[in-house]
C-alpha cells in the first residue's frame, strides 16, 4: 500500500531524513518509534504533503501512485489521512462545516456525489458517539478551546468520518491521560481492517499496549535502524534507544 | 483643483437649476465653498489613505440615462420595497414600492422638497469637497420616513445601477427618518459595469427616541468605478443605528460614517468588511461622536487585500466632556493575501470625560499556513480552504445586519469574491 524508498528530506536546507525505506501492506499496523528529533514528524508531514518539506531524493508511492505528484488534498482523496501531533485551531469554522467540507472534498475527488446534510449528520453523530465525543463539540469552532485530549479525539472522529485506507498518526498518544488514550486506541482499532493500514508514530510504548502493531521500526537520526515484531517495542521500553539500536 | 474643473461643475450646476425645489441656493453656496477648499487630498488626515487625484483633476460629466436599462440584480432576501436608480436617476418602472407606502412615507426627494420647503434646512449642505459636490450636483434621491411605532421587517432595498457612464458622475442623496420606536432596515446596493464612472452618494438618517435603523450597504461597483459615500446619522435617546458596510467593488471605494449620539442611551454599531482586489483601494472612515452620558458604540471591521490591494480603516471616537459612562469598542483585523497587499489602521480616541470604557484593537496578518495545511490535509482543495478561512475571518462583521437571509446572501458574495482572489503568491 505504501512504499517508501531511500527517502531524503530537507527542511530549510537541513537534511532531516537520510535514506529511509518502508513498506506497508494492507491489513498491517506499523509503529515507528524514536526520540525527539529523529525525524518522525518530518516523515509524517512529508507523506501528507506539507510544502516546506523538500524531498531531495527517493520516492513515496501510495497504491502505485507517486505521492509527490499529488497535492495534499489529492492524497486524502486517494485514501491517506494524517493525524496531527498538534491539531490546529481554526476560529470561525465550525467542526461540522469542516468535516462536511472535507468529506465532500474527498467525494468530489473520487467523482462521487456530495453527502446530503441528513446523511452527514447521521454519520458524524454515530462516529462522535463511538468515540465518546460530546455532540456539542461538533458545533464549536475547530479545536478552539479543546483540551489536548479533546483535540486528539477530534482527530479520531475526523479519521472515522473520512475512513482512509492508510492513516498516519503522528504522536496521537502524546499528552493524553489514560482514559483519553483508551478512547483514541479504540478509534484506531476500529479503523483496523484487512483493507486498511495504519502507521503509528510514537515516542513511547504506551499506546502500543492498546494497539498491537504488526511491525515495529526504530528510527534514529533520519533512518530506520532496526525493524522487528511487537516485542521490539517492549525491548525499547526496557533497555532504552541507545542499547537497542 | 484646476479652475477648469470647477468651471465645468459650475455649468452643470446651472443646468440643474430649478430641478429640486428650494435647493438652488444650497447648490451655489456649496460650489463657492468647493472653489475655495477643493476636493480632498491625501494631505488631509481624513483622506490620507484614498488618493482621488484622478477625480480632482478631471471634470466628470453629468451622468446620462443609458440607451438600454441594465439588468437589475436579484434580491438577496424578501424585501419590503425596491427602489431602483439607474445612472443616478430614480426609475419608477423598475421599482416596486410593495405595501410599504401604506405603512410609511416613501417618496422621491423632489416631491419631498416640493411639499416641505422648510425642510431644506435639515439637509446637510456643508462637509468636505466630496459632500459639497454632492450638494451642488445632487439630482435625485429618496425620502423614507417610518412613522412612530412602525416596524418594517423586511429590508427596504435601494439599488443603484450604473451602466455606460464613462467619465460621468452621479450625486445621490437619500434621507431616512425614523419615528419614535420605529424600526427598519435600509439595504443600499451599488452595482455597475466596467466604465470609469464616479458614484458619490450620501445618506442622512435621523433616528429618534427608541428607534432602530439597520443600514446595510453592499457595494459591488464596476472594476473601474470610483465610489465615495457618506452616511450622516444622528441618534436620539435609546435609539440604535446598526451599519454594516460591505465593500467589494470599484477601483477606489470609500465609505464614511459620521454618527452623533445625541441623547442618553443612544447606541451605534458600525461594522464593515472590505475585500480589496488586485490594485484596488478600499477605505472606511467612522466617526462616532458620544455627546451624552451612557451612550454606547461598537465597531467591527475585517478587511482582506489581494496583490497591490489596499484596505484602510480610520475609526474615530470622541467622548464629550461630562459624557460619563460611555462604552466604546473597536476591533479592526486585516488579512493580506499577498506580499504586495497593504492594510492601514488608524484608531483615534478623543476622550474628554473621565468615567468611560473605550477599547480598540488592530491586527494585520496573512492567511495562517498551518490552518491551510490542516484543511487541505483533510481533503479540502486549496481554493475552498482559502474561502473557508476568509469567510471565518470576516464572519463576525455580519452579525448585525438584522436579517439572517440577507447575511447569508452577503456571505455567499464574499465566498464568490474569494474564487477570483486567492492571493497568487501563496500558491
Per the structure, the complete domain to which residue B25 belongs is given by 3-263
What percentage of chain A exceeds 90 in pLDDT?
81
Q: Measured between CB atoms, does A105 come within 8 Å of chain B?
A: yes
Question: How many domains does the structure of chain B reveal?
Answer: 2
Q: Are residues B8 and B129 in the same domain?
A: yes
Q: Are residues B38 and B161 in the same domain?
A: yes
Q: Are residues B377 and B259 in the same domain?
A: no
Question: pLDDT digits over B290-300, tens only?
Answer: 999 999 999 99
Question: pLDDT digits over B34-88, tens only?
Answer: 999 999 999 999 999 999 998 999 999 999 999 998 999 999 999 999 999 999 9
Q: Are residues B244 and B376 in the same domain?
A: no
Q: Measured between CB atoms, does B420 come within 8 Å of chain A?
A: no
B28 in any annotated domain: yes
DSSP 8-class letter at B151: B
Interface test with B, best of A88, A111, A156 (most B CBs within 10 A): A88
Residue among B316, B331, B393 nearest B362 (CA)? B331
ipTM of the complex: 0.96
Half-sphere exposure of B287 (CA within 13 A, CB side): 14
What is the average pLDDT across B330-354? 95
Looking at the partner chain, which of B374, B377, B379 has a beta carbon nearest the beta carbon of A90?
A: B374
- The rounded mean pLDDT for chain A is 93
- Give CA angle at A45 (A41, A50), nearest 5°: 145
Contact criterion met (CB < 8 Å) for B373 and A91 = no
Interface test with B, best of A50, A78, A102 (most B CBs within 10 A): A102
Contact criterion met (CB < 8 Å) for B380 and A109 = no
Instruction: Spell out which residues of chain A touch residue B377, defining contact as CB-CB under 8 Å.
Output: 48-50, 72-73, 76, 82, 84
Contact criterion met (CB < 8 Å) for A49 and B374 = no
Domain end position, chosen among B237, B263, B289? B263
Looking at the partner chain, which of B381, B388, B391 has a beta carbon nearest the beta carbon of A73?
A: B381
Question: pLDDT digits over A137-169, tens only?
Answer: 999 999 999 998 899 999 999 999 999 999 999
Q: Measured between CB atoms, does B370 come within 8 Å of chain A?
A: yes
* CA pair distance B371, A164, nearest whole angstrom: 21
Contact criterion met (CB < 8 Å) for A98 and B378 = yes
* CA pair distance B427, B425, nearest whole angstrom: 5
B340 in any annotated domain: no
- For residue B426, what pLDDT band results from cuts at 50, 70 and 90? very low
Burial B142-163 (b: 16+ CB within 10 A, else e): bbbbbeeebebebbbbbbbbbb
Interface test with A, best of B273, B378, B427 (most A CBs within 10 A): B378
What is the average pLDDT across A60-84? 96
B348 in any annotated domain: no
Contact criterion met (CB < 8 Å) for A92 and B391 = yes
Q: Are residues B102 and B232 in the same domain?
A: yes
Question: pLDDT digits over B99-150, tens only?
Answer: 999 999 999 999 999 888 888 888 999 999 999 999 999 999 999 999 999 9
Domain end position, chosen among B263, B287, B316? B263
Q: Measured between CB atoms, does A72 come within 8 Å of chain B?
A: yes
CA distances from A166 to A24, A68, A74, A82, B375 (A): 9, 16, 14, 9, 18
Q: Are residues B11 and B143 in the same domain?
A: yes
What pLDDT sits at residue B422? 63
What is the average pLDDT across A109-124? 95
What pLDDT sits at residue B425? 39
B351 in any annotated domain: no
Domain end position, chosen among B204, B237, B263? B263
Contact criterion met (CB < 8 Å) for A72 and B376 = yes
Q: Are residues B256 and B386 in the same domain?
A: no
Q: Are residues B375 and B250 in the same domain?
A: no
Question: How do beta strands A197-202 and A166-170 pair?
Answer: parallel
Helix, strand, or coil (residue A42): helix
What is A124-158 written as a DSSP string? HHHHHHHTT--THHHHSEETTT--HHHHHHHHHHH
B162 in any annotated domain: yes
Looking at the partner chain, which of A49, A105, A158 has a beta carbon nearest the beta carbon of B384?
A: A105
B330 in any annotated domain: no
Q: Are residues B254 and B394 in the same domain?
A: no
Looking at the partner chain, which of B379, B384, B393 has a beta carbon nearest the beta carbon of A76?
A: B379
Q: Are residues B253 and B374 in the same domain?
A: no
Q: Measured between CB atoms, does B426 come within 8 Å of chain A?
A: no
Q: Are residues B35 and B179 in the same domain?
A: yes
Contact criterion met (CB < 8 Å) for B388 and A93 = yes
Question: pLDDT digits over B215-274, tens only?
Answer: 999 999 999 999 999 999 999 999 999 999 999 999 999 999 999 999 999 999 999 999
B328 in any annotated domain: no
Q: Are residues B245 and B123 in the same domain?
A: yes
pLDDT above 80 (res A241): yes
Q: What's the N-to-C CA distance of chain B in angstroms?
A: 43
Helix (H) or strand (E) holding B348: strand B342-351
B133 in any annotated domain: yes
Q: What is the CA radius of gyration of chain A?
A: 18
Amino acid at each position: 500500500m505504501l512504499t517508501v524508498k531511500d527517502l531524503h528530506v530537507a527542511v530549510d536546507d537541513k537534511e532531516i531524513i537520510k535514506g529511509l525505506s518502508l513498506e506497508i501492506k494492507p491489513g498491517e499496523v506499523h509503529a515507528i518509534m524514536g526520540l525527539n528529533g529523529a525525524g518522525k514528524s518530518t516523515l509524517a508531514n512529508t507523506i501528507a504533503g506539507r510544502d516546506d518539506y523538500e524531498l531531495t531524493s527517493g520516492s513515496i508511492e501510495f497504491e502505485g501512485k507517486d505521492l509527490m505528484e499529488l497535492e495534499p488534498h489529492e492524497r486524502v482523496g486517494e485514501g491517506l489521512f494524517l493525524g496531527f501531533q498538534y491539531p490546529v485551531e481554526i476560529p470561525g469554522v465550525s467542526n461540522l462545516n469542516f468535516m462536511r467540507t472535507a468529506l465532500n472534498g474527498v467525494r468530489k475527488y473520487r467523482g462521487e456525489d456530495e453527502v446530503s446534510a441528513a446523511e452527514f449528520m447521521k454519520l458524524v453523530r454515530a462516529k462522535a458517539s463511538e468515540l465518546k465525543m460530546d455532540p456539542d463539540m461538533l458545533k464549536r469552532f475547530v479545536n478552539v478551546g479543546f483540551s489536548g485530549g479533546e483535540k486528539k479525539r477530534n482527530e479520531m472522529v475526523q479519521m472515522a468520518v473520512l475512513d482512509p485506507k492508510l492513516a498516519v498518526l503522528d504522536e496521537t498518544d502524546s499528552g493524553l491521560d489514560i482514559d483519553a488514550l483508551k478512547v483514541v486506541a479504540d478509534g484506531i482499532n476500529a479503523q483496523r481492517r484487512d483493507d486498511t493500514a495504519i502507521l503509528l508514530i510514537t515516542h513511547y510504548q504506551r499506546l502500543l499496549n492498546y494497539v498491537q502493531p504488526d511491525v515495529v521500526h526504530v528510527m534514529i537520526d533520519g533512518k530506520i535502524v532496526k525493524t522487528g515484531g511487537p516485542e521490539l517495542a517492549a525491548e525499547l521500553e526496557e533497555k532504552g534507544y541507545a542499547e537497542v539500536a | 483643483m484646476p479652475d477648469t474643473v470647477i468651471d465645468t461643475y459650475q455649468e452643470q450646476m446651472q443646468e440643474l437649476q430649478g430641478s429640486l425645489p428650494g435647493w438652488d441656493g444650497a447648490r451655489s453656496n456649496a460650489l463657492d465653498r468647493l472653489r475655495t477648499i477643493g476636493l480632498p487630498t491625501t494631505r488631509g488626515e481624513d483622506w490620507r489613505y484614498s488618493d482621488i487625484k484622478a477625480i480632482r483633476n478631471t471634470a466628470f460629466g453629468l451622468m446620462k440615462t443609458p440607451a438600454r436599462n441594465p439588468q437589475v440584480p436579484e434580491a438577496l432576501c424578501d424585501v419590503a420595497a425596491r427602489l431602483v436608480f439607474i445612472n443616478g436617476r430614480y426609475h419608477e418602472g423598475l421599482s416596486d414600492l410593495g405595501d410599504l407606502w401604506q405603512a410609511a412615507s416613501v417618496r422621491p426627494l423632489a416631491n419631498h422638497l416640493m411639499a416641505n420647503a422648510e425642510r431644506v434646512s435639515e439637509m446637510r449642505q456643508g462637509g468636505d469637497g466630496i459632500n459639497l459636490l454632492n450638494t451642488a450636483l445632487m439630482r435625485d434621491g429618496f425620502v423614507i420616513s417610518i412613522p412612530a411605532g412602525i416596524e418594517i421587517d423586511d429590508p427596504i432595498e435601494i439599488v443603484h445601477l450604473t451602466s455606460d457612464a464613462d467619465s460621468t458622475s452621479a450625486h445621490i442623496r437619500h434621507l431616512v427618518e425614523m419615528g419614535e420606536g420605529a424600526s427598519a432596515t435600509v439595504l443600499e446596493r451599488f452595482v455597475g459595469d466596467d466604465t470609469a464612472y464616479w458614484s458619490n452618494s450620501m445618506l442622512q438618517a435621523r433616528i429618534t427616541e427608541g428607534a432602530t435603523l439597520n443600514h446595510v450597504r453592499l457595494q459591488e461597483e464596476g472594476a473601474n468605478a470610483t465610489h465615495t459615500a457618506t452616511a450622516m446619522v444622528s441618534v436620539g435617546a435609546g435609539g440604535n443605528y446598526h451599519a454594516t458596510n460591505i465593500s467589494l467593488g470599484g477601483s477606489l471605494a470609500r465609505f464614511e460614517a459620521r454618527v452623533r449620539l445625541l441623547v442618553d442611551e443612544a447606541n451605534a454599531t458600525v461594522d464593515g468588511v472590505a475585500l480589496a482586489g488586485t490594485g484596488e483601494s478600499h477605505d472606511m472612515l467612522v466617526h462616532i461622536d458620544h455627546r451624552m452620558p451612557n451612550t454606547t458604540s461598537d465597531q467591527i471591521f475585517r478587511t482582506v487585500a489581494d496583490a497591490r490591494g489596499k484596505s484602510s480603516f480610520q475609526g474615530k471616537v470622541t467622548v464629550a466632556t461630562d459624557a460619563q459612562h460611555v462604552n466604546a469598542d473597536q476591533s479592526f483585523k486585516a488579512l493580506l493575501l499577498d506580499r504586495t497587499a497593504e492594510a492601514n489602521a488608524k484608531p483615534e480616541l478623543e476622550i474628554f470625560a473621565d468615567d468611560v470604557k473605550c477599547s480598540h484593537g488592530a491586527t494585520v496578518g496573512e492567511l495562517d499556513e498551518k490552518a491551510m495545511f490542516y484543511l487541505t490535509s483533510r481533503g479540502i482543495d486549496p481554493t475552498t480552504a482559502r474561502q473557508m478561512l476568509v469567510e471565518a475571518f470576516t464572519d463576525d462583521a455580519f452579525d448585525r445586519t438584522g436579517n439572517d437571509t440577507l447575511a447569508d446572501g452577503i456571505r455567499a458574495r464574499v465566498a464568490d469574491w474569494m474564487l477570483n482572489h486567492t492571493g497568487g503568491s501563496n500558491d
